Each structure stands twice: as structure tokens, then as C-alpha cells.
Copies of this chain bind each other. A is one copy, B any other.
Amino acid sequence: MATAQPTTDVLAEKHRPTLDQALATLRSRAYWSPYPEHPKAYGADGSLDAEAGLAAHRAVLNTRFDLDQPGTDGWTGGEISPYGPELGVEYPHADPDVLLPAMRAGLPAWRDAGPEARALVCLEILARISARTHEFAHAVMHTSGQAFLMAFQAGGPHAQDRGLEAVAYAYEEQTRTPAGRASWSKPQGKRDPLELSKEFTPVGRGVALVIGCNTFPTWNGYPGLFASLATGNAVLVKPHPRAVLPLALTVRTAREVLAEHGFDPNLVALATERPGEGIAKTLALRPEIRIIDYTGSTAFGDWLEANARQAQVYTEKAGVNTVLIDSTDDYKGMLSNLAFSLSLYSGQMCTTPQNLLIPRDGIATDQGPKSYDEVVADLAGAVGGLLGDDARANALLGALVNPDVKARLEAAAGLGEVALASREVAHPDFPDAVVRTPVVVKLDGSKPDAEAAYLSECFGPISFAVSVDSTADALELLRRTIREKGAMTVGAYTTSASTERAVEEVCLEESAQLSLNLTGGVYVNQTAAFSDFHGSGGNPAANAALCDGAFVSNRFRVVEVRRQA
């Protein structure tokens, strides 16, 4: 399928400085991003501005999204925006017996191109995606239900950052051995030395499968996609059936860039499914599939880990995130920080806090001692205040991603005393959008019947104010929650050095990422690429972290050829 000899020279000048800065930032862990966060930053240099992005999005609605993939045996679609409208897009349905072998055809040339050329091609794909961030924002908004600005930032530059981060890790990992032939000479005393010429080639494992999720199709999809592609694999993208469009746009861009630079476009392909078809299970067990990245339920993640034995499997599954509240010297800052964390995208983030552990005798604050009831009431007040204005509420909450979340939200009110009731928010532009404020439910941590609630992931705008006997009790419950249920994030508020040390010790021992005393504009549910690790890979919530060396190093192998010198 490749129409020309691969040419990536022109890309080096364009993207090598970005790659170098990414490599440096991974070591410093400082703030950096090459992709602008502000919507108004787009429009120049060939990128789409707000109007053009919206037009591009509208142009794709109610069309057939043709990718010219081998083995297309039909068309399927049916996405409905959480804001109401049907997207009306039809995507190719693939026959894996045709598509998978076709995806393997381009692997030798992709391998021979080497780590730098692969990284540069990935950076060009990301740059093209970046230029269409306004279009992607609408696609992410109308599949995930995120509010526009969040869909723009998390689905655009932040997702692109995570993709670039994976490319940089992949490049560094593959270039640990010398490029070209290395000479080896072992002295033998008075005899001639033993001499060999050695050549080390990083080779991908084969075809990688990315199984996308409903809530963050690009943010959670890009690390695996780009890590696998940059390490010499082909990548088959299987989106969540309710969030196909952002990944279909991604696949189209990748195929264009690959073909333009002389590589086989089938190195990246899309696999969509008919309603109820469940192709993830079938694809995951195909012998061609050697790597799987998955974000979703624990049940299916565990199934993949146990059954897809021919593949390296990277999973992000359910977890129960805790915030331990011991004391604070900024009560107001704590409340407003927590209120934002609980509200952002209606709590539909894998990093949103669920259980707030509060001593039943209350906590010390800069505004004097506060009882458990006062803390809970003040938090409810802070959330209520934050979301009191409907326009602001809509901008923060977005829409509920699917009916399951709505059902869980409605059921949550029956789990205990409701400290803050959820309310419906009307959306001015989308009357069918299901927008709800979070519910906060009080649970008594000493009552065994409350455990079933707070020791399960209750995904959505639901949190539990769990009363505990003491901070020591909270620490023990935190440990048990991480160990048994996993956690993507842990938060804690304390002015006590010994409590701080004790929370750190639990997180170090149970392998969970900790945010301490956040009272400003950084929230426990947010992580920054190149600096923060998303998950740890060491507790049941995820078997990998985004991104680290382990996330990339087993996606390829190094084959050595030794020759008599």
C-alpha cells in the first residue's frame, strides 16, 4: 500500500525540538506543553478556529465516515450525544480476517524506519490533531458529555500531551542501544582480541489493540495508541460504541500522515461494532493482537488480563478514591477545592474523590473546631454555592454520559442521609441534556451495612461523607480501600506532620498517588502530562501508570545480530 519510499527528513526540522523538550521535561517533571490550552490560541498556521472547528464538526454529522480500510464489510453507528442529538455518523465495520493481516503488511517498513522516524511521524499526527482541536472538542463533548471547555482542554491539548509523553518515553526506551553497528572487542591477553560487530534493532510485537472508553476517548486512548505505534506496532482502535467519533477522527489523521510519508496507512485502523456485537472480546483473543490497552470496568479488565495471554495487557479499571480530612489551616480553600473536585464533569472521572473520611468528633481548622456535621454541611454549601448559577453549573458539570450514571445517582439518595441533594439543571442550548449536580450522602463508617456502599466504586456525581472514629481509623480504612478496591487518587488534608507522614506511608506501602492539602487551583482529579503519573500500576485500580518506562518497554523487543568482525 505504501506509495513512496518513507520520507521523514522534513519532519525532523519541524518536530525534533519538541521531542527533545518532551524528553527533558520527563526528567525535570516541570510544567510544559506544546499544545495551547486556550481556544483563542487556534486559527493561525493552518489550525481551525472556533468557527471552522464547529463547521468541520457539523460537516461530518449524518455522513458515512469512510476510511478506505481493507475488509470493510458494512457500516455501523448510532452515537447519541449526551446532550441529546443523534450524531448520525456511520463508520466502517471490519472483517478481522481481512483487516488484521492487512495491518501486518506494513510492519517491516515501519520497523526499518527506526525509532526517530516513528517518533517524528507520531508527532506529525499529533500536530495535525492539535490543529483540529476545535473540531475534536465538539466530537468529545457530544460523545462523553463533557462541557465544551473541558472537552476542548482534556480531549484536546491534555490528551495530545499524554500522547506525546508516550512517544517520548518510547523513543528514549528504544534508543538505549546504539543505532547502526557497534563494535565489541574483548582482550585475550597476548592473543588477538575477540571481535564482533553487533546490531540492535527494536522490533514491535505486532498489532496492538486500543479499547476506548466512553468518558475520555482521546485522553485515555492516546497513551496506548501512541506508545504502541512509536514502538513499531500497528494499532487497531476499538472505540466505545458511544464514543466513536473522536477516535475515528484520530485514526483518519494517523492514516493520512502515514500515507503521506510513505508508510502503509493500514498501520492504524478503526474497528467499530454493531449494537451488542461485543467485538472487544473476539479481537482481544486474536493471535495477531500482541498488546492491549483498555480503560473500563474491572470485570472486563480482569477478564482481559486472565484470558488475552498472547498479549501484553495494560488496564485501567475501577477504583475507590478517598480524601482523608484530618485538619486544615485553610478551611475555606479546602471546601472550595473539594467542591470543584466533586463537581467537575459530574464526578465522571476515574480520579474523582468518592469517600471523604471525616472523624466523627470533628476536625481542627483555622476557623476553629468543626464537627463532622458542620464539615459535611459546609461542603454541601460550597458545592451548592459553586453550582448555584445554572450557566456556571452547566460549564462545570457537563451532561451525564449515559443512563447507568443517572440510575446510580438516583439510587444513591437511598444509601444514607442525604447531606446535599442532586438537582436537575436545564441546559440553554440542549433541552434533552441530562445535567445533574452531585449528591453527598452521609455514611457511618462504623456500621458494617454502610460498607457495601463506600467500598464499591459508585461512578458518577456521588460522594460519601464517611464518619470515622479517628484519624487512625481513617488511615486504616484508607489502606484497606486502596488494597482491596484500588485507587487512582488519594487526597488528604492535615496540619499535623505525623498524620502527613502516616498518610504518605500508607500511600507508599499501598502504591497510590497522593495530593496533600490542595486548596488552590489544582485539583486531586487532575494530572499533568510530563510531570504527574496517572495511577500507579501498583494497586487494583490499574496495572500500569500513564506514563512511565514500564508502560512502553515491553511493547517492543530488541533483536541483536552479531557478526564475526
Contacts and interface: CB of A to CB of B under 8 A. Distances in A.
Interface in A279-311: 305-306, 309
Contact of A194 (B203, B511, B522): B522
Nearest to A548: B558
A374 interface: no
Contacts of A457: none
A559 interface: yes
A514 B196 CA distance: 12
B29 A178 contact: yes
A85 to B, nearest CB: 34
Nearest to A514: B561
A189 to B, nearest CB: 8
Counting chain B CB atoms within 10 Å of each CB, the highest count among A31, A194, A514 belongs to: A31
B564 A516 contact: yes
Q: Give this chain's copy count.
A: 2
A312 B114 CA distance: 29
A173 interface: yes
A549 B538 contact: no
A28 B178 contact: yes
Size class of the contact patch on chain A: 35 or more
Contacts of A194: 520-522
A201 B562 contact: no
A7 to B, nearest CB: 22
Q: What does DSSP make chain A's interface, helix, strand, loop or mixed?
A: mixed
A514 B564 contact: no
A319 to B, nearest CB: 15
Contact of A560 (B176, B185, B188, B532): B532
Interface string A9-43: 00000000000000000111111000000000000
A29 B521 contact: no
Contact of A521 (B188, B507, B563): B188
A409 B234 CA distance: 44
A340 to B, nearest CB: 13
B550 A554 contact: yes
Interface string A244-257: 00000000000000
A422 interface: no
Given A30-B185, A513-B559, A520-B564, 9 more contacts: A29-B177, A108-B508, A194-B521, A507-B559, A516-B561, A518-B564, A537-B554, A538-B557, A538-B559
20 contacts: A26-B176, A29-B178, A29-B182, A30-B183, A30-B184, A31-B187, A201-B508, A306-B309, A507-B561, A511-B557, A511-B559, A512-B559, A513-B559, A514-B560, A518-B562, A533-B560, A537-B557, A538-B559, A549-B549, A554-B554
